[in-house]
Amino acid sequence: MASPVIIKSATATGAGGATGDSPTLLEAALRASVTGRVSFDDGTRALYSTDASNYRQIPIGVVLPRSVDDVVAAMASCAAKGAPVLMRGGGTAMAGQSTNTAVVIDCSRHLNRIAWLDPERRRARVEPGCVLDTLRDRARPHGLTFGPDPATHNHCTFGGMIGNNSCGTHSMMAGRTSDNVGCLEVLTYDGLRMWVGPTSDDELAAIIAGGGRRAEIYAGMARIRDVYGDEIRRRYPDIPRRVAGYNLDDLLPEKGFNVARALVGTEGTCVAVLSAELVLVPDPPERAMVVLGYPDVGAAGDAVPLLLRHHPIGLEGFGHQLVADTKAEHLFLPSLSLLPPGRAWLIVELGGTSADEVMGRAADMIDEVGRGEGAPSTRLVEDPAQVARVWALREAGIGVTARLPDGTRTWTGWEDSAVPPSRLGDYLRDLLALYARHGYHAALYGHFGQACIHNRLDLDLTSVDGIARYRTFAQEAADLCVSYGGSISGEHGDGQSRAELLPRMYGPDLVRAFEEFKGLWDPGNKMNPGKVVHPARIDEHLRLGAHYRPANPSTFFAFTNDNGSIAQAALRCVGAGKCRKEDGGTMCPSYMATREEKDSTRGRARLLFEMLQGDVITDGWRSEAVRDALDLCLACKGCKSECPVNVDMATYKAEFLAHHYRWRLRPAAHYSMGWLPLAARAASRAPRLLNVATHTPGLDSALKWLGGIAYERDFPRFAHQSFTDWFRARPASVPAGGPPVLLWPDTFNNYFHPNVGRAALSVLESAGFRVEIPDRPLCCGLTWISTGQLGMAKRMLRRSVDALAPALEAGLPVVGLEPSCTAVFRSDLADLLPQDEGAKRLAAQTLTLAELLANRAPDWDPPRRDCEAIIQGHCHHKAVLGMEPDTALLARAGVDAEVLDSGCCGLAGNFGFERGHYEVSMACAERVLLPAVRAAGPAKLVIADGFSCRTQIEQATGRQALHLAEVLDPGA
């Protein structure tokens, strides 16, 4: 894994919060003692103001420690000033435990290493910021894994998992995080640092006899064990997913007085975890998946006890509403086709040491469940790609359910209750009835094998009546869950959303025991105060609340999918943090390079929310904090398709820049590259002269300085003849009677790479089409959009739509060659000109070359190439257009192509050329793309449709990448 790019940025001193001393003194103390970054500026505080819950609290400041010693020093400084502390992992908590008015210590940036892994002992030691999948990847070659695997497995940290007592799909084979922790190195607020774990009677006696702070804590825990032991045994539910409250049961003699496991799930309210020794379990090498269909979720719940007899390693479920919501969003359609008939489904995964073993067990299970009345429909899913699609559908629950089909936002009102698996069916029926009584919409899904149920509800959290109704509902839901012998939290912890309800589950005596336990470790109530113990009410500190009145300014984009409101667009982000993954996919390339919260899609969306809220970021569109966070956004649009709730940060960035620089001098790059289409048209009159000027030492540096262009970059060379000039000058040789198509001559393939246009013409004519081009220079406005010059972009688009009106009204397909330009027509156009009928036609009639050939010339035989290739898919191609037609066409041509999982090339239009972006641009490219290109032999094709991608590849490796049209050109 590539090291993150270190981006240096100044942080201003800002107001903090209510501590005993001035925040400036606290900040000064932290800066003097910590080598990592200390940030008290409003932008950083806004970044950390909320998590994936309903709650929002503005932190005092944020510390990014570079070492464990930094954590110790930061804690000491906070203790000296009386400032509360919040230890934070990935910030994805759904109960509000990772938001607080405190000094946030975020270990995910630097404290993310695996200290060691011992396959023989099946143990590993990690730092608190280590991501789960990092350890799983290290353990996999040894046939081992860390059992609990929440859906956030590629970005959640062990500090957060330990704080939350996380579980996940495969906790069925390994238990909760607490069951997989060997020992912990912890730090108390008052500076005691020690390792804790299972403690024998002799060890306990020796510790107490030794005196001091450690003895005081251990003696207090022994007293809690002795006083409350019988009540713990009586009141703690004996179910696999009891996460609510503290793990005081781990102090019982039969549990070995395990202090480490007692601290797991305390949500940072007792100690800071500095290091963790974890238990690894065998990872079944062979697996089988069976999907079962039932008439309703209650029936699916009733089936769980029978299925558990077959010892699955995963047993997940979901109801028809999740499927209906998925269809309404046009998501995961290939996944939905794999479901057998029904209105509720169970996914059963079996694991074993051989394929014959697991397939035999799957057959036995299918045979048993298929007997008798009410037997489910069944499907054995064997193809690995199809298995992945089914899991993707299940893991998409939080995104699919985050908004109803009508756009209504949903919230985590009763997110992860758990009951005995034997009673799941009845509980589900009663839970649905409770939702109906309160008028709530819910799409149920979850870990049915352990009877832990997830959902999001369309709560009204912006009116006094709606908030009161939510409070009444939560109390009734807690009582229902407890009546079934369940736990009000089965995975996501108590935080604030359930802590107030703990007396309904445990009674006053055990709640008092929780208070005493916290008091031993944190007598001053400075560690994440207001969570779990002495909690704030469930209707306090709401992210929205009855006071929620965000600014809703007029915008250039229509935001049609958000009821015309940029405030609703900014509110899309649910905080799940999928954009914080460190590899795989496109979203978010700058975060993968820097691993900075402000460079994630979530961080940027949060700052936009705060800007419109106006109480922390108070300077609106002029905000430098928002501008700085958006600066490293590559506008790749990866979030538009990969974000669970389809946040479109490229659009939000363009809108922000349009207002931020309105009536102000812009950065030089906005002029030099934003106006590139007009400059390129002028340069086409004397391209050789321009090429000399831009490649003469000294003169090229002066031009780069004037244009705000990175000195490390080379200017692309203008073609000696544009494609449109060549097209109009060529001899007429079009096939008679062919269906007409309009080939769009974008700026890049027209003035820089006209060979792509010529190749496309050859392909289209060989497929029997009659090719036309616009009769005048036109532009899609892309470069103006990406630099936030939206007024000019709209003028360019309107001009193009009007000029193309005759062709569009005649039904001509418009074929785009540059993915970013094609994506403008398919995506941005409708939101910039929402009332324009011509714009709607252009959006509907624009196709990629591969789409046109697949849809309009399915019998055309591409020339055989019979070779291997790697494909760098352009970000906009993957996010907006889709790569499937391209790969299918290449396969027909005999090209064995691998689509690189490389994300963005890093150049991203103007981004990689702008001064100050080169380092991040190259870090993005070096993650996967450039090493793959260098490793490709000369016989292996490198295919990249994007001009930016081809330019990045050429400038970094000297390799000439080909456009799809060039690969398919019969004359090549």
Residue type for position 318: F
pLDDT for 888 equals 96
Q: Over pLDDT 90: what percentage of the chain?
A: 90
SS3 951: helix
pLDDT for 4 equals 58
Tell me the pLDDT tens digit for each residue of 745-765.
999 999 999 999 999 999 999
DSSP 296: S
Tell me the pLDDT tens digit for each residue of 897-921.
999 999 999 999 999 999 999 999 9
Statement: residue 236 has pLDDT above 60: yes
Averaged pLDDT, 82-111 = 97
pLDDT for 3 equals 53
| Average pLDDT of the chain, as a whole number | 94
Statement: residue 19 has pLDDT above 50: no
Statement: residue 5 has pLDDT above 80: no
374 burial type by CB count under 10 A (0-12 exposed, 13-18 middle, 19+ buried): exposed
Averaged pLDDT, 539-563 = 95
Statement: residue 22 has pLDDT above 70: no
Averaged pLDDT, 293-319 = 96
More confident site: 321 or 5: 321
Calculate the alpha carbon distances from 969 to 728, 749, 858 in Å: 20, 16, 17
Residue 422: partners with Cβ closer than 8 Å, 6 or more residues away:
304, 305
pLDDT for 542 equals 97
Tell me the pLDDT tens digit for each residue of 463-510.
999 999 999 999 999 999 999 999 999 999 999 999 999 999 999 999
Residue 528, Ramachandran bin (φ over 0: left; ψ between -120 and 50: alpha; else beta): left
pLDDT for 374 equals 83
Calculate the alpha carbon distances from 285 to 141, 354, 357, 821 in Å: 11, 7, 11, 45
Please choose, from the candidates 646, 651, 574, the residue with its C-alpha nearest in 3D space to the C-alpha of residue 606: 574
Tell me the pLDDT tens digit for each residue of 657-703.
999 999 999 999 999 999 999 999 999 999 999 999 999 999 999 99
Give CA–CA dist 121/140, Å, rounded: 15
Residue 457: partners with Cβ closer than 8 Å, 6 or more residues away:
410, 411, 412, 413, 414, 435, 440, 441, 442
The model's pTM is 0.94
Calculate the alpha carbon distances from 41 to 63, 413, 630 in Å: 12, 32, 16
Main-chain dihedrals φ then ψ at residue 848, nearest 5 degrees: -75, 165
Statement: residue 598 has pLDDT above 80: yes
pLDDT-based confidence at 733, cuts 50/70/90?
low
pLDDT for 858 equals 92
pLDDT for 325 equals 81
pLDDT for 21 equals 55
Give CA–CA dist 684/846, Å, rounded: 26
Main-chain dihedrals φ then ψ at residue 667, nearest 5 degrees: -60, 150
Peptide bond into 588 cis (omega under 30): yes
Tell me the pLDDT tens digit for each residue of 357-404.
999 999 999 999 988 788 999 999 999 989 998 988 887 777 778 887
SS3 39: strand
Averaged pLDDT, 856-878 = 95
Statement: residue 18 has pLDDT above 60: no
Lowest average pLDDT, out of 196-210, 321-335, 816-830, goes to 321-335
Averaged pLDDT, 303-322 = 95
pLDDT for 200 equals 97
Please write down the long-range contacts of 377-380, taking CB distance under 8 Å and 24 or more positions apart.
377/292, 377/293, 377/340, 377/341, 377/342, 378/290, 378/291, 378/292, 378/293, 378/340, 379/290, 379/291, 379/292, 379/293, 379/338, 379/339, 379/340, 380/288, 380/289, 380/290
Statement: residue 838 has pLDDT above 90: yes
pLDDT for 869 equals 98
Calculate the alpha carbon distances from 118 to 113, 143, 261, 274, 281 in Å: 15, 12, 21, 20, 12
Q: Which two tokens stand for residue 71?
A: 């954590």
pLDDT-based confidence at 261, cuts 50/70/90?
very high
Give CA–CA dist 269/290, Å, rounded: 41
Statement: residue 608 has pLDDT above 80: yes
Statement: residue 127 has pLDDT above 50: yes
Tell me the pLDDT tens digit for each residue of 223-235.
999 999 999 999 9
Query: What is the strand order of the sheet 37-39 is part of?
Result: 37-39, 61-64, 103-106, 85-88
pLDDT for 732 equals 67
Statement: residue 16 has pLDDT above 80: no
925 burial type by CB count under 10 A (0-12 exposed, 13-18 middle, 19+ buried): buried
pLDDT-based confidence at 12, cuts 50/70/90?
very low
Averaged pLDDT, 212-225 = 98
Residue with tokens 């022994």: 222
Averaged pLDDT, 947-955 = 98
